[in-house]
Structure 1
Amino acid sequence: MSEFGQGRSDRPRRNEANRGGGQERRDDSGRTRNRGGTGPRKFSASAPSARNRRADQARLTAFEVLRAVAENDAYANLVLPARIREHHLDRRDAGFATELTYGALRGQGLYDAILARCVDRPLDELDPAVLDALRLGAHQLLAMRVPNHAALDETVSLARMVIGAGASGLINAVLRKVSLKDLETWSEELVAGIADENAAAALVHSHPEWIVRALRQALVAHGRDASEITELLIADNLAPVVNLVALPGIGSLDEALDAGAEPGTLVADSAYYQGGDIARLGSVREGSTRVQDAGSQLVARALAQVPLPEGGEDTYWLDLCAGPGGKAALLAALAAGHGAKLTANEPAQHRAELVSKALVAIDPDTWMISVRDGREYGEAEYSGGYDRVMVDAPCSGLGALRRRPESRWRKTPKDVAELTVLQGELLDAALSAVRVGGVVAYVTCSPHPAETVAVVDDLLSRNKNAKLLDTGAALESAALPGLASAARPVGEGSTIQLWPHIHRTDAMFMALFTRTA
């Protein structure tokens, strides 16, 4: 007997009244009648012999990723590709699994609020695996073009297979309640009576309230209107297109373009790819073409191309916080084209190994790996040793929530406060390591004012030999024609802030400095 059959045989039989006088009524095709609700009795969607007894592989993949995120603090973007390959998903199923995984993670806050109205106990009393299955079911019912009966049947089948028959009954009952209303109706009911606009936006757009407040402040701090918060939150919840970069002088986008990629509109040697598993491209496997957000590409190119204010040699470059190696690979290729050499520093050994792998396609004579605390480059022995320095500082990552949706549920305001101290120390070290007339780039994947403009202001107040350059002009020079002027406030000495809802990039911040005598 199958596992499914064993689960059913353990249930007590209905009494004669419930079974309709001892006969279970079926239609001509053998389908049983739906006994729930009132009104005319209906037949179930499928005969017992046709009902799924196992989960389909795409949904199983999404479930496994959500469990890894919850149990192991894993990142979905690292776990998902491996699971897709393990389950041998084709392009269509891989796309479904990707949307289901990221959609459930992005919508977790809103879906949990809906589920809380449909469960007879606090959500934290549910088995975490059951809650993940409910989130997957809710996303299919409310935000994907999946018929309700399919979303219900497949989620219940998934639960039977990986959790147990007992849990499947609860999941079936809860998701039927969820399916009674659409997402707009649920959202309206949930925010009814909430006066605080940040709290309401946090619920509807599924962000923690403190992040909504921080993003609203960030818009104002970077010269935008606070009313753009809705557009920004919506952009955070859109599935990002995969951005590719062909390493200059090394890689080519021909294979990706032949596979349906579209040329990038923001930066040279880039493309937008929607063809499924990126590892199927040979150029990606060999490392000459890489996955990298266009905003990250742009800030690396801006540092590489900005003229050194006092001219002179341009032979030694430093990436102070190189892991996991995306910007380091592009910088190394650009450095090689300039006749320069890059030192890629990463204090964590396992991340340094990732940097080394990222640089594999680049001539090893043009780069080296350093494994040390980046603040050590502020010591006297390194003073003035580099012409260009990248400080891609550890940050909250609030600018990449669309790519790492689980991050929004892990971060706290305390994380920001702790990181700003480190950011300032790394920037001080970089200013010491760069030569007079050299250039330092301070970059974060966060628009939070505490991690961007405040760090810049503090550096300038501490170091009288630091001068802020016209970062906007440098970025526009490195970009393809048409970069929106909304990227920066008007005026010399400006910093740059990119936005998902304007530039289709992560919310990258950049400030360029030079060291004066």
Structure 2
Amino acid sequence: MNAAAPARRVAAEVLAAVRDDDAYANLLLPARIRQAHLSPADAALATELTYGTLRMQGRYDSIIELVAQRSAAAIDPVVLDVLRLGVHQLVATRIPPHAAVGDTVSLAPKRATGFANGVLRAISRIDPAEWDARIAEGRSGDDLLAAETSHPVWVIDALRAGLAADGRVDELDDLLAADNIPPAVSLVALPGLVEWDEVGERGSISPLAVRAPGGDPSGVPAVHDGRARVQDEGSQLAALALSRARPIVAGERWLDLCAGPGGKAALLGAEANLGGATLLANELIPVRAKLVRTAVRVLSPRPEVVVGDATRFASSDPGTFDRILLDAPCTGLGALRRRPEARWRKSPHDLDDLVPLQARLLDAAIAALAPGGLLAYVTCSPHPAETRDVVAAALARHPSLRALDTRAVVADIATADLGPGVGPALQLWPHRHGTDAMFIQLLTVDFLGDAAPKVAP
């Protein structure tokens, strides 16, 4: 068996799980690598094959369709995974064509090895640049952009709208390109538990960020024992915007409404402990709540983690929390670098359910917020429908609600210039800030007005 065969097999298994079980590659792949006992070199290859194939799936399908003379949807899904893996090796890596074809075809079902071999060998005979030219034939506008950058057209529309809302309408090409570049792994040094310079080299924009060394981050002692965690710098800034917008007063009560999987809860919990505040972390899904408990286990005292519908806090704890984080469920279009399957898994119809849910959760958070308290509305998406529009609608429903200048708050926290933006919200961008495209809006309730606020349907 070729030495790289286990890496290809792990990649194929992860692709199948993403397709059949809606698995998340970034969660499943590390576990499969450990289970397969891959060497560092094979682990790196499995990672490249998995993420590269998922990321450029649209482009690769266009190439496959040209050669196979049938739509990708008409090809057996298992065989299609094999073909995509092979195409990635042929057009985007330096793997010799004979290895890319032979070792990949061996993963196909026996009944389809001839078909897979024929398609991949045909692709291997043509230069990658020539494939780009062939893909472009007969396409124009967003259809061409979608094929070239491997983004669905609706995602391109959403990203363009998000850029326009932030005054960056001419940066679409840069954003699409950044989505297709594997992100550097960043760590957060949990305050009070470890200093960033004890972990490694400083990150680029968050004051707590550390650049992860190559290889498995769990090999870093502080990560192994939980004092540092893998966390995107944009997520770090989202939590710090809430915790550092003003000095903490001992005795404050904080709430993380949608805490799973627990990265922001761990950081908020560490910040709360330093300031004498307490954090309550809520999660709807028990399995995700378990992840939150794991994430905060290193803290002392540990935040309480509860399971349940977050909207209940509107009636169970009205006006009682001094700071609330609402990291709302969203399309995840801001994390396409690290979760490339999201671009194929989501559709514009998801907004039909997500936007009303975001509004209900935001109403519940507003109701649970103490007068004068701080509320951070956060999404890992730049889509205006689930960011600025949700906030604007909430401001219209709640006369006592006020949007704070979040860009100014985070500018005082960040270690690098944020650049210009539009309005009081902060929108981070992969191509500008090197982070996920996090949207952050700080809100406060100035007073309790006489008129009852409207509630989102």
Name the TM-score, length of structure 2 as normaliser: 0.94
Structure 2 distance, partners of 1:68, 1:188, is: 32
The one-letter amino acid paired with 2:56 is G
The one-letter amino acid paired with 1:374 is A
Quote the residue 1:376 is aligned against: 312
Q: How much has 1:279 moved relative to structure 2?
A: 2.4
- Cα 1:312–1:154, aligned 2, differ >3 Å: closer, same or farther? closer
**8 A contact 1:236–1:500 mirrored in 2:** yes
Q: How much has 1:154 moved relative to structure 2?
A: 1.7
Q: Does structure 1 residue 455 correspond to structure 2 residue 394?
A: no
Superposed, 1:145-164 pairs within 5 Å as 145-159=94-108, 163-164=109-110
- Cα 1:341–1:212, aligned 2, differ >3 Å: closer, same or farther? same
**8 A contact 2:404–2:444 mirrored in 1:** yes
Aligned-pair identity in percent equals 49
Quote the residue 1:32 is aligned against: none
Q: How much has 1:53 moved relative to structure 2?
A: 7.1
Q: How much has 1:125 moved relative to structure 2?
A: 3.3
Cα deviations by residue, 1:270-295 (Å, 9 ceiling, x for unpaired): 11224112222332232211111000
Quote the residue 2:433 is aligned against: 503
Quote the residue 2:418 is aligned against: 484
- Determine which structure has greater relative contact order: mean sequence separation of CA pairs < 8 Å that are 6+ residues apart, divided by chain length: 2
Instruction: State the SS of the aligned residue for 2:107.
Output: helix
- Asked which structure has the greater CA Rg, the reply is 1
Match of 1:291 among 215, 222, 230: 230
Q: How much has 1:366 moved relative to structure 2?
A: 4.6
Match of 1:229 among 172, 191, 197: 172
Q: Does structure 1 residue 349 correspond to structure 2 residue 266?
A: no
Q: How much has 1:120 moved relative to structure 2?
A: 4.4
Structure 1 distance, partners of 2:31, 2:278, is: 34
Structure 1 distance, partners of 2:302, 2:103, is: 53
Instruction: State the SS of the aligned residue for 1:413.
Output: coil
Cα deviations by residue, 1:150-181 (Å, 9 ceiling, x for unpaired): 2112212333xxx32x4222211101111122
Superposed, 1:56-455 pairs within 5 Å as 56-159=5-108, 163-164=109-110, 166-195=111-140, 197-225=141-169, 227-253=170-196, 256-257=199-200, 262-307=201-246, 315-363=252-300, 365-379=301-315, 381-455=316-390
Instruction: State the SS of the aligned residue for 1:158.
Output: coil
Structure 2 distance, partners of 1:112, 1:438, is: 50
**8 A contact 1:468–1:512 mirrored in 2:** yes
**8 A contact 1:255–1:281 mirrored in 2:** no
**8 A contact 2:250–2:275 mirrored in 1:** no
Quote the residue 1:27 is aligned against: none
Structure 2 distance, partners of 1:128, 1:417, is: 28
Quote the residue 2:450 is aligned against: none
Unaligned 5+ segments in structure 2 are 448-457
Instruction: State the SS of the aligned residue for 1:117.
Output: helix
Instruction: State the SS of the aligned residue for 2:68.
Output: coil
**8 A contact 1:313–1:387 mirrored in 2:** no
Structure 1 distance, partners of 2:188, 2:89, is: 33
**8 A contact 2:253–2:278 mirrored in 1:** yes
Instruction: State the SS of the aligned residue for 2:355.
Output: helix
Instruction: State the SS of the aligned residue for 2:254.
Output: strand
Q: Does structure 1 residue 471 correspond to structure 2 residue 406?
A: yes
Q: How much has 1:316 moved relative to structure 2?
A: 0.6
**8 A contact 2:249–2:275 mirrored in 1:** no
Q: How much has 1:341 moved relative to structure 2?
A: 0.5
Structure 2 distance, partners of 1:256, 1:137, is: 38
Instruction: State the SS of the aligned residue for 2:322.
Output: strand
The one-letter amino acid paired with 2:395 is L
- Cα 1:417–1:182, aligned 2, differ >3 Å: closer, same or farther? farther
Instruction: State the SS of the aligned residue for 1:184.
Output: helix
Structure 1 distance, partners of 2:69, 2:153, is: 26
- Cα 1:93–1:254, aligned 2, differ >3 Å: closer, same or farther? farther
Instruction: State the SS of the aligned residue for 1:485.
Output: coil
Structure 1 distance, partners of 2:129, 2:377, is: 41
Structure 1 distance, partners of 2:129, 2:176, is: 16
**8 A contact 1:252–1:289 mirrored in 2:** no
**8 A contact 1:54–1:158 mirrored in 2:** no
The one-letter amino acid paired with 1:202 is A
Q: How much has 1:252 moved relative to structure 2?
A: 4.7
Unaligned 5+ segments in structure 1 are 1-51
Quote the residue 2:451 is aligned against: none
Structure 2 distance, partners of 1:312, 1:494, is: 25
The one-letter amino acid paired with 2:292 is V
Structure 1 distance, partners of 2:157, 2:344, is: 15
Instruction: State the SS of the aligned residue for 2:106.
Output: helix
- Cα 1:405–1:320, aligned 2, differ >3 Å: closer, same or farther? same
Q: How much has 1:254 moved relative to structure 2?
A: 5.7
The one-letter amino acid paired with 1:469 is L
- Cα 1:143–1:274, aligned 2, differ >3 Å: closer, same or farther? farther
**8 A contact 1:54–1:157 mirrored in 2:** no
Cα deviations by residue, 1:364-409 (Å, 9 ceiling, x for unpaired): x351112121111111x41221111001000110000111111111
More moved, 456-465 vs 126-135: 126-135
Structure 2 distance, partners of 1:324, 1:158, is: 33
Structure 2 distance, partners of 1:459, 1:87, is: 49
Cα deviations by residue, 1:183-207 (Å, 9 ceiling, x for unpaired): 3321222222323x11111110001
Structure 2 distance, partners of 1:253, 1:95, is: 26
**8 A contact 2:142–2:156 mirrored in 1:** yes
Structure 2 distance, partners of 1:140, 1:230, is: 24
**8 A contact 1:55–1:157 mirrored in 2:** no
Instruction: State the SS of the aligned residue for 2:349.
Output: helix
**8 A contact 1:326–1:358 mirrored in 2:** yes
Q: How much has 1:453 moved relative to structure 2?
A: 0.7
Q: How much has 1:57 moved relative to structure 2?
A: 1.3
Instruction: State the SS of the aligned residue for 1:450.
Output: helix
Quote the residue 1:16 is aligned against: none
Structure 1 distance, partners of 2:293, 2:85, is: 37
